[in-house]
């Protein structure tokens, strides 16, 4: 568990129920702008997180196959509405408080 990873996971845990965010936004909120890929990687190897509340830019589901179905199902269960593969961000995006960049 690296420090960057712990910061990223902490940010993800702050996303409230029925709200969503994006890989890029989580990276910025954790203090690591430009590290969207780290967010995805951290998510991939962790458990017990609201992983389904993290989407690609524009509110698009980036997973494919069964995982994509699972994510959509979980979100809809929380009341998040979809327009095809995307969620209405105007309505469901969680706005993180501004965060400062962290040292790498």
Partner DNA sequence: AGGGTGACGATCA
Partner DNA sequence: ATGATCGCCACCC
Residues in the chain: 104
**Does the protein bind DNA through residue 51 (CB under 7 A)?**
yes
The DSSP bridge pattern shows strands 82-83 and 54-55 to be unpaired
- Contact pick of 9, 15, 19, 22 for DNA (by CB under 7 A): 22
**Does the protein bind DNA through residue 43 (CB under 7 A)?**
yes
**Does the protein bind DNA through residue 38 (CB under 7 A)?**
yes
Q: How far apart are CA 94 and CA 104, in angstroms?
A: 26
The least distance separating DNA from the CB of residue 14, rounded to whole angstroms, comes to: 16
56 beta partners? 60
Kindly identify the residues of this chain, within the stretch 56-85, that bind DNA according to CB under 7 A. Answer: 56-58, 62-63, 67, 71
Tell me the window of 37-45, 74-82, 88-96 that interacts with DNA (CB under 7 A). 37-45
The DSSP bridge pattern shows strands 86-87 and 82-83 to be antiparallel
DSSP 8-20: HHHHHHTSPTT-B
Contacts with DNA by CB under 7 A lie at 2, 4-5, 22-24, 32, 34-41, 43-44, 51-52, 54, 56-58, 62-63, 67, 71, 104
């Amino acid at each position: 568990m690296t420090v960057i990873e712990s910061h990223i996971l902490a940010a993800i845990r702050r996303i409230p129920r029925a709200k969503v965010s994006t890989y890029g936004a989580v990276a910025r909120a954790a203090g690591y702008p430009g590290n969207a890929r780290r967010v995805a990687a951290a998510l991939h190897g962790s458990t017990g997180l609201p992983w389904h509340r993290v989407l690609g830019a524009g509110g698009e589901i980036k997973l494919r196959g069964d995982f994509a179905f699972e994510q959509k199902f979980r979100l809809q269960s929380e009341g998040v509405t979809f327009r095809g593969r995307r969620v209405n961000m105007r309505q469901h995006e969680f706005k993180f408080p501004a965060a400062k960049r962290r040292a790498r």
